[in-house]
Structure 1
Amino acid sequence: MRERRKLFSLFSVIFLFSSTLADDVIMNKLAASLSPTPSDWSGSNHCKWTGVNCDSSGRVSSINLASKSLSGTLPTDLNHLTQLKTLSLQSNQISGALPSLANLTNLQEVYLNNNNFTSIPPSFLSALTSLQTLSISENPSLAPWSIPEDLAQSGSLVTFYASKASIVGSIPDFFDSFPNLQSLRLSYNNLTGTLPSSIAGSEIQNLWLNNQDMGLSGSIDVLQTMTQLSQVWLHANGFSGPIPDLSKCTSLFDLQLRDNRFTGVVPPSLTSLPLLVNVTLQNNKLQGPFPDFPTGLQVNLGTTNSFCNTKPGPCDSQVTALLEVAGALSYPLILAESWEGNDPCKGWSFITCQGSNVTVINFGKQKFTGTISPAIANLTSLRNLFLNDNNISGPIPDSLIGLSQLKALDVSNNNLTGKIPDFSSGVTLKTAGNPLLGINLTVGGGGNSGSDSNSTSASGNPSGKTNTNSGSTGMIAGTVIAVVVFMGVVAFVFYKCYTKKRLQKFGRVQSPPNGKEATKKGIVGTVNGYGGISELQSQSSGYNSDLQVFEGGNVAISFQVLRQVTDNFSEDNILGRGGFGVVYKGELLDGTQIAVKRMESGAMGTKGMNEFQAEIAVLTKVRHRHLVALLGFCTNGNERLLVYEYMPEGTLSQHLFDRNENGYPPLTWKQRVTIALDVARGVEYLHSLAQSSFIHRDLKPSNILLGDDMRAKVADFGLVKNAPDGKYSVETRLAGTFGYLAPEYAATGRVTTKVDVYAFGVVLMELITGRKALDETMPEDRSHLVTWFRRVLINKDNIGKAIDSTLNPDDETYGNICKVAELAGHCTAREPSQRPDMGHAVNILGPLVEQWKPSCHREEDSFSTDHMSLPQIMQRWQADEGTSTMVDDLYNSRTQSSIPAKPSGFPNTFDSLDCR
């Protein structure tokens, strides 16, 4: 036995050595194929190369070469790095064929976006069973390829980005394979066909399918059941038919449907969705009443739609009836193109009038589908109705009997069913070519089962025998219907149970047993199977009226709890004051620390609950590793309170300017430039959201969400944080302090994203000099940091004298400081047009930080979000360095849910992942 163990150990060592040797070969090939080769990619120990991490056995676990200005190609046998978990090569100029990633069962994240790859092998995504994020967007040189069915093997997929990647063909119908998929981005490709039916049962929150070359087509009815949807971009396609009822999509805040072929009436639900802040409907052929959207909602209706009026209000009664008729036929485009205005007797195709009354509808031979609407009976002057030679199904409505002036009804050659109404003898009725129309059910062996529907009198009675067992027939029909309904219910229950088991298999958060309340010392909630809180109430019945419950899984906290944990909002617990109120430190009974922003009732004025609800929805959608998490909210009369995760190490200004009083050591340059990069990435993310136009409100202080004015979310709410060590709530104070005001804002109040760029430049100057933006203790010519620092930049030899004396930089660090100083100068240019975008700041600062520490880069594009909490990020980095064994269980159990996990400690109090 001992010999066997020795032999097994020997084989293990040999296998490990051979595997490590294989990694050496592949990494050397990779180094040789890239140009320029990273400067320190030499020597035999590839685990020490910049951007390369290895596990404890020396196997390569991650490769991060993002934004390195690299060209060249990738080795074809890259998938021999069998322990690879993360591959980050985004934002380079790498070209050639992509290597197959098949059978990399440990691979979790792939970032290949923004390169020049030319082709994708057929087995590219085979057997990637651990894959969670795949980003291959912005590769316009790729040869046409289709989404492979192999992707269905990646059951843990959360994010799939493949916009502008030359994808052709249809979208595979395999979305029941992805119980955790949240973001699907396939914009700017050449996808065709309809939306797959399986997408209706998915957990997708962000759906981007816009701008296909030829255009996706068909209806979008599958969206009706996707209750978790938050952002839908379907513009610039060929979708048609009516906009479906989206009343169940209560989390939807951005809906882009412009530049399609939608017809019909805008559903009332679209004007009452509680969180909707942006909708575009231009360049369609919508009809009916002018939609009455609420004030403050950004809407673009354009000029091509065919609403009956130019402002909200009912249409003419005949127009309303005809639109119902068209609706039963799924609003054919041919009708929408000519049915304009509020008078059907003025040029409406297929309609004939006498005076101002509709007398003839002629839809014959138009290939219409759908049913016959009972609303035809509202056209009381109708004489002739021609519906022949179409594909219309269902019954002939009994209401048509009431048309006293009806002379002719032709429904021949359709698929109509049911009995024929008893029309008067004065109506000429044609029903031939409807084999199931007028057939009666019989009971018994020898009874006549039907009659010739082609031989029908004006009374509607078949010429054959009538059914003498109508009562029994009705009973049979009722029984059949009951059985069908019962089987449908059974099938639905089975489906839900099956789905639940699949979700449990992939680690989705489960509900407490027997629906028990998830509660901990003052906060009570019943958690549903998707990790969202469906019912919340205060533990104290006396405060139930203070608690507001909104759909969407946001955590509502009673005012009593917040008053208790802040010691009745004690002055001793004040963390800071802003333009919207005071921020207090609080500590829950389980020891969890929180920051509570109590917005003053005067500042809020009469702002309604819908406004506050929309703001809560926005804050919970804005997720990024450099933004502080919103954990909950509360209303108390006119007061509104927001609860954020607490940054325990204070603010950046305390570390820079008040370190002696607080006992903080001086910040190193490495720490400072890392903070600057984090601020830049956080603000860039918010700017990208604003530029996508999905959130834009009036610029009145009570209404600010996001958009051009970032003060409320970056400065006033202090969202930006320093993620790598989690210490600083970075006070950018973009418009709250005189020293940060851009000239155009200080003089005219004009607010754009360039105001934030200016403020960011001031933050850079503070980090470089260790001086406050406005210091009245300094001489007048030095008190205003920007003015003084601009003079320093005139002669770069003076920069050394302006650097914070605690830095004491070496030559290399000094060179980096000069680069940041130059960036600060550009950011604070007097003219907004001369200031760079925040993306430029990220590009400048990124390489400076990456010189010191390899990190796991995520895609930092317009829609990038980080679905991990700060403690998870820290544990993951530790795991990459081989210092933690907890990460796999934590990461797999938490990040697979549809909502990001909470910060450490919150599971004891907020038992819902939605509070993150």
Structure 2
Amino acid sequence: MGSNPSPTLLLLLLSLLLSAAAGDDQAVMDAFAGAVTPAPTGWSSGTNFCHWLGVKCDTNNRVSSISLPSKSLSGKLPPDLNSLSQLTTLSLQNNRLSGALPSFSNLSLLQSIYLDSNNFTSVPPGAFSGLTSLQTLSLSDNLDLAPWPFPSELKDSSSIVQIYASNANIFGSIPDIFGNFPGLTTLRLSYNNLTGSLPASFNGSGIQNLWLNNQKSGLTGPIDVLSGMAQVTQVWLQTNKFTGAIPDLSACTLLSELQLRDNQLTGIVPPSVISLPSLKNVTLQNNKLQGPLPKFPDSVQVSLGTTNSFCKNTSGDCDPQVATLLEVAGALGYPMKLAEAWTGNNACNQWTFVTCDSGGKVITVNFAKQGFSGTISPAFANLTSLKELYLNDNNLTGVIPESLTTLPQLKKIDVSNNDLSGKLPVFRSSVSLITAGNKNIGKEVPASGGAPGSGSNSPSGSSGGSKGSSVSPGTVAGLVIAVLVFVVVVLYVSYKCYMKRRLRKFGKVENPESGSEIMKTNVIGDLNGYAGVPSELQSQSSSDPNEFPVLEGGNVAISIQVLRQVTNNFSEENILGRGGFGVVYKGELHDGTKIAVKRMEGGAMGTKGMNEFQAEIAVLTKVRHRHLVALLGFCVNGNERLLVYEYMPQGHLGQHLFDWQEHGYPPLTWKQRVTIALDVARGVEYLHSLAQTSFIHRDLKPSNILLSDDKRAKVADFGLVKNAPDGKYSVETRLAGTFGYLAPEYAVTGRVTTKIDVYAFGVILMELITGRKALDETMPDERSHLVTWFRRILINKDNLRKSIDPVLDPNDETYESICRVAELAGHCTAREPHQRPDMGHAVNVLGPLVEQWKPSCHEDEDTYGIDLHMSLPQALQRWQANEGTSTMISDLSFSRTQASIPAKPSGFADSFDSMDCR
């Protein structure tokens, strides 16, 4: 008889198993490190992967989290990533990863997948099966993916809360699996190629944000499921092919935004929609809606357009005959044929299918052979002059309404070849009734939904009770009580789970650079705001004043009352500056936090301006970098638009460079100028890396480069770049800045590219060297344009020393550094765009120049993140990693970058080189 294994043996076996598992993780992480470039800081086979940047392990040295957002990583992920069995979080958004997505199947502990804004090319079948702990799946903005279906295997992920997969090339129908997700609050599948109808399991779900807009081919069918989505706050269904009527939304009391434009909706706008208590924004244009012009409260932003078929251009009831015929159309499901043909407020004014007498009374309605379905409306009885009614050869169901027998002038009614049923009404003997081809006529057939002949389109209508039921009243009562108790218990448990998730969602966020679709809580103070920021250009922001907002990217909508309070009602003494689009004010929150409020000029804000404002908000939510001014919030107040940024107390670079005496600042040292230039280069380099997917651009000039307490730069005034049809970048003209910063090609093409940014950066370098403005009309013509004048200076190296800002008074070492920057400025302002370097090259040139100045105190050491015991390349790597820049420098990469740049741009003197300064 065998003995039980000893505890020592069990511990040994357990240790061996854990060691083997950790070895598997090591193999996967080694493959990961070898597959991506540039390798993240510290990722080497010589160190424990648990100490690698962005990697966390559990107590058994098993990988639990990989977080490397916005690191400009290229390459492919290892296919056996699902061997990391203890993985709970994978955050790789905003990179350039490509190839096939690895399978995550059976990673039962995995809770969060953030892979949005990459270049993945395919998704393997079953990639998301067995993810029983999954809460967030974010795959948006992977434009290179081959067409793939919505992952129906997610039905096992009953804990899922958020699904983001917009712009991910998903095709086919949406599977009817949403009854499996009791906690799902966000479903965003915009800009794909989804087809078919909305799944029935949406009805009764807890979805709050439903984004299905802009499908390539278009979703179809009715939108009746919305009537049962009591928790929904945002519905974006625009730019599809939905048909039928807008359903009764009286249960959707939390709905604040309803985007239904650009569909094929018909019928009357229900009163329940008009009176929704939380509604802030509704778009209905480019449909064929009918009936009275809807009159929404003044608090609701409404877009109705001109293509709908409302009976009048003003509010008020329709003509009685028109109202009756629309009720008739409602029983048929408001067919598009009728919506297109029945326009205006006079049924006798060329309405098809309708004939009138000379007195303007409807005498004939002829719907024969139109393929209509639905029921016969009792409202026909209101057409008291009706003589003939042709409804034959359609797909009508239900009964012939008894009310038709009251029509005093009716002579003929033809309902042949339909599927009518029920008892035949008794008409006068003078009425010709034709019913042939209705096999169930005269028979009682149970209705599948709603009372027969009621014309109800509700899917939840009750059917008649069964005759002769043997179920006793006591049994029924017991069942009802049991069901009620069960429902109460389920609701209570769901509420507790919801609140638990909500508290967790509002907690600390460890990842400061989450992707385009990650929720963050970077709120300012305890501002009373309202939620609902759209990321689609045409959408309007909405609000919910009862809930503290937590929005994508940490941005919040802030009430105008709060902004008035913190800026002392936008007082003159709080003005920080004035720009082409308005005035910037300083504000201070009650907790002492200082903010800058850009108040846009309200008078010029039309539809185009609103769309640009929406687009800017949508893009800026994705931008997070140490050297970029963060957008903290925004405000929409009638026609007025306001942006709230972090406050930079030291003003802008132009004040320190050109007007330092006027503002009481000491002149900038060369060390400060080069440090500022490097910081700007890093910020713009980050923007350029985003421009591949997000199309972000900015206006580079000293007045838009803000300074913090230690005079480090923050790049401000972002703008949106749109992707032109030819694949180049295009931008609104106002983003290009003043003439002095424009590259020569802008005058011919009018387009703004990243190379124009490089040109503008070169101009700023020239300003830092000379202390002169890019365009100074007080100077003689030959000296007024800085770039032209500076080019002539660089022809002769002796002239450079004379052109340096006199306050610098450089020694030999500083002069050598100035020469390097002057050479870089020449490269950046080359006449031909292809001769200009990328911004990464500027970072590589300026980085070593800044490194030559050691921090003078421990405080500086903490600020810059430099260990004085490191070598200079190591210190720069550490600094750049802390700064968020994507560029890593070594002797090899530095030489490679320089080698890729034209040694002498066209027009640059052959005799000049930074070596001449030595």
User: TM-score band (shorter)?
Assistant: 0.5 to 0.7
Say whether 1:149 aligns with 2:153.
yes
Is the Cα–Cα contact under 8 Å of residues 92 and 115 in structure 2 kept in the other structure? yes
Residue 673 of structure 1 aligns with which residue?
Answer: 681
Does the residue aligned with 1:506 lie in a helix, a strand or coil? helix
CA displacement at 1:382 relative to structure 2:
0.9
Say whether 1:653 aligns with 2:653.
yes
Counterpart residue type for residue 646 of structure 1: E
Please list the CA deviations of residues 150-199 of structure 1 after superposition, one character each: whole Å capped at 9, or x if unmatched.
25516354342154535434333316727464351253335434344426
CA–CA distance in 1 between the matches of 2:249 and 2:834?
42
Is the Cα–Cα contact under 8 Å of residues 319 and 344 in structure 1 kept in the other structure? yes
CA displacement at 1:104 relative to structure 2:
5.9
Please list the CA deviations of residues 673-729 of structure 1 after superposition, one character each: whole Å capped at 9, or x if unmatched.
22214555789998689xxxxxxxxxxxxxxxxxxxx99xx999999999xx99836
Residue 335 of structure 2 aligns with which residue?
Answer: 332
Alpha carbons of 1:22 and 1:823: their partners in 2 closer, same or farther (altered >3 Å)?
A: farther
Does the residue aligned with 1:99 lie in a helix, a strand or coil? coil
Alpha carbons of 1:229 and 1:799: their partners in 2 closer, same or farther (altered >3 Å)?
A: farther
CA–CA distance in 2 between the matches of 1:268 and 1:822?
65
Alpha carbons of 1:557 and 1:190: their partners in 2 closer, same or farther (altered >3 Å)?
A: closer
CA–CA distance in 2 between the matches of 1:812 and 1:178?
63
Alpha carbons of 1:246 and 1:652: their partners in 2 closer, same or farther (altered >3 Å)?
A: farther
Is the Cα–Cα contact under 8 Å of residues 178 and 202 in structure 1 kept in the other structure? yes
1:445-594 superposed matches below 5 A: 497=492, 499-508=494-503, 534=545, 554-556=557-559, 558=561, 562-563=564-565, 565-566=566-567, 573-579=574-580, 582-594=583-595
Residue 623 of structure 1 aligns with which residue?
Answer: 621
Alpha carbons of 1:175 and 1:646: their partners in 2 closer, same or farther (altered >3 Å)?
A: farther
CA displacement at 1:835 relative to structure 2:
12
Does the residue aligned with 2:502 lie in a helix, a strand or coil? coil
Alpha carbons of 1:423 and 1:143: their partners in 2 closer, same or farther (altered >3 Å)?
A: closer
CA–CA distance in 1 between the matches of 2:754 and 2:569?
35
CA displacement at 1:135 relative to structure 2:
0.9
Match of 2:716 among 730, 733, 758: 730
Does the residue aligned with 1:360 lie in a helix, a strand or coil? strand
CA–CA distance in 2 between the matches of 1:32 and 1:187?
34
Is the Cα–Cα contact under 8 Å of residues 679 and 720 in structure 1 kept in the other structure? no
Is the Cα–Cα contact under 8 Å of residues 654 and 703 in structure 2 kept in the other structure? no
Counterpart residue type for residue 252 of structure 1: E
Alpha carbons of 1:223 and 1:435: their partners in 2 closer, same or farther (altered >3 Å)?
A: same
CA displacement at 1:316 relative to structure 2:
7.0
| Residues matched between the structures, number | 735
Does the residue aligned with 2:324 lie in a helix, a strand or coil? helix
Q: TM-score, normalised by structure 2?
A: 0.59
CA–CA distance in 2 between the matches of 1:38 and 1:808?
34
Please list the CA deviations of residues 410-437 of structure 1 after superposition, one character each: whole Å capped at 9, or x if unmatched.
66875678x9989767556689726459
Alpha carbons of 1:655 and 1:682: their partners in 2 closer, same or farther (altered >3 Å)?
A: farther
CA–CA distance in 2 between the matches of 1:49 and 1:153?
31
CA–CA distance in 2 between the matches of 1:276 and 1:751?
38
Residue 171 of structure 1 aligns with which residue?
Answer: 175
Does the residue aligned with 1:44 lie in a helix, a strand or coil? coil
Say whether 1:88 aligns with 2:92.
yes
Counterpart residue type for residue 647 of structure 1: Y
Please list the CA deviations of residues 302-355 of structure 1 after superposition, one character each: whole Å capped at 9, or x if unmatched.
7xx777799999977655532331122211245456657887678866545556
CA displacement at 1:219 relative to structure 2:
0.6
1:248-263 superposed matches below 5 A: 251-252=256-257, 255-258=260-263, 261-263=264-266
Where does the alignment leave 5 or more consecutive residues of structure 2 unmatched?
A: 1-5, 453-476, 507-523, 533-541, 549-554, 720-733, 848-877, 883-918
CA–CA distance in 2 between the matches of 1:124 and 1:415?
48
Residue 433 of structure 1 aligns with which residue?
Answer: 441
Say whether 1:239 aligns with 2:242.
yes
Range 669-678 or range 755-764, more displaced: 755-764
Does the residue aligned with 2:679 lie in a helix, a strand or coil? helix
CA displacement at 1:131 relative to structure 2:
4.5
Counterpart residue type for residue 586 of structure 1: G
CA–CA distance in 1 between the matches of 2:347 and 2:489?
49
Alpha carbons of 1:189 and 1:23: their partners in 2 closer, same or farther (altered >3 Å)?
A: same
Please list the CA deviations of residues 458-483 of structure 1 after superposition, one character each: whole Å capped at 9, or x if unmatched.
xxxxxxxxxxxxxxxxxxxxxxxx99
- By relative contact order (CA 8 Å, sep 6+), the higher-ranking structure is 1
Residue 853 of structure 2 aligns with which residue?
Answer: none
Say whether 1:360 aligns with 2:364.
yes
Match of 2:27 among 20, 25, 28: 25
Residue 126 of structure 1 aligns with which residue?
Answer: 130
CA–CA distance in 2 between the matches of 1:643 and 1:669?
26
Does the residue aligned with 2:714 lie in a helix, a strand or coil? coil
Is the Cα–Cα contact under 8 Å of residues 51 and 65 in structure 1 kept in the other structure? no
Alpha carbons of 1:15 and 1:311: their partners in 2 closer, same or farther (altered >3 Å)?
A: same
CA–CA distance in 2 between the matches of 1:583 and 1:92?
36
CA displacement at 1:266 relative to structure 2:
6.6
CA–CA distance in 2 between the matches of 1:496 and 1:797?
82
Say whether 1:221 aligns with 2:224.
yes
Q: Percent identity?
A: 27
Is the Cα–Cα contact under 8 Å of residues 679 and 713 in structure 2 kept in the other structure? no
Range 89-98 or range 796-805, more displaced: 796-805
CA–CA distance in 2 between the matches of 1:575 and 1:67?
34
Please list the CA deviations of residues 243-289 of structure 1 after superposition, one character each: whole Å capped at 9, or x if unmatched.
4577978643855424xx444457799999986597662xx666668
Counterpart residue type for residue 88 of structure 1: L
Residue 764 of structure 2 aligns with which residue?
Answer: 766
Match of 2:66 among 58, 62, 72: 62
Residue 105 of structure 1 aligns with which residue?
Answer: 109
1:512-911 superposed matches below 5 A: 534=545, 554-556=557-559, 558=561, 562-563=564-565, 565-566=566-567, 573-579=574-580, 582-596=583-597, 604=602, 623-626=621-624, 628-629=630-631, 631=633, 642=642, 644=644, 646-651=646-651, 653=653, 657=657, 660=666, 665-666=672-673, 667=675, 670-678=678-686, 728=714, 730-731=716-717, 738=738, 754=752, 762=760, 765-766=763-764, 770=768, 772-774=773-775, 781=782, 783-785=784-786, 845=839
Alpha carbons of 1:321 and 1:845: their partners in 2 closer, same or farther (altered >3 Å)?
A: farther
CA–CA distance in 2 between the matches of 1:32 and 1:133?
26
Residue 387 of structure 2 aligns with which residue?
Answer: 383
Larger CA Rg, structure 1 vs 2:
2
1:341-420 superposed matches below 5 A: 350-351=353-354, 357-363=361-367, 368-387=372-391, 390-393=395-398, 396=401, 398=403, 400=404, 403-409=407-413
Please list the CA deviations of residues 97-116 of structure 1 after superposition, one character each: whole Å capped at 9, or x if unmatched.
74335316245233266546
Please list the CA deviations of residues 103-140 of structure 1 after superposition, one character each: whole Å capped at 9, or x if unmatched.
16245233266546445132534316244242165466
CA–CA distance in 1 between the matches of 2:136 and 2:798?
49
Alpha carbons of 1:848 and 1:394: their partners in 2 closer, same or farther (altered >3 Å)?
A: farther
Where does the alignment leave 5 or more consecutive residues of structure 1 unmatched?
A: 440-452, 454-481, 512-519, 538-551, 690-709, 854-877, 883-916
Residue 521 of structure 2 aligns with which residue?
Answer: none
Please list the CA deviations of residues 496-524 of structure 1 after superposition, one character each: whole Å capped at 9, or x if unmatched.
6565334213225899xxxxxxxx99988
Is the Cα–Cα contact under 8 Å of residues 47 and 53 in structure 1 kept in the other structure? yes
Residue 44 of structure 1 aligns with which residue?
Answer: 46
Does the residue aligned with 2:764 lie in a helix, a strand or coil? helix
1:184-203 superposed matches below 5 A: 184-185=188-189, 187-189=191-193, 191-198=195-202, 201-203=205-207
CA–CA distance in 2 between the matches of 1:192 and 1:817?
61
Counterpart residue type for residue 23 of structure 1: D
Counterpart residue type for residue 505 of structure 1: K
CA–CA distance in 1 between the matches of 2:238 and 2:689?
27
Does the residue aligned with 1:589 lie in a helix, a strand or coil? coil
Counterpart residue type for residue 495 of structure 2: K
Alpha carbons of 1:253 and 1:286: their partners in 2 closer, same or farther (altered >3 Å)?
A: closer
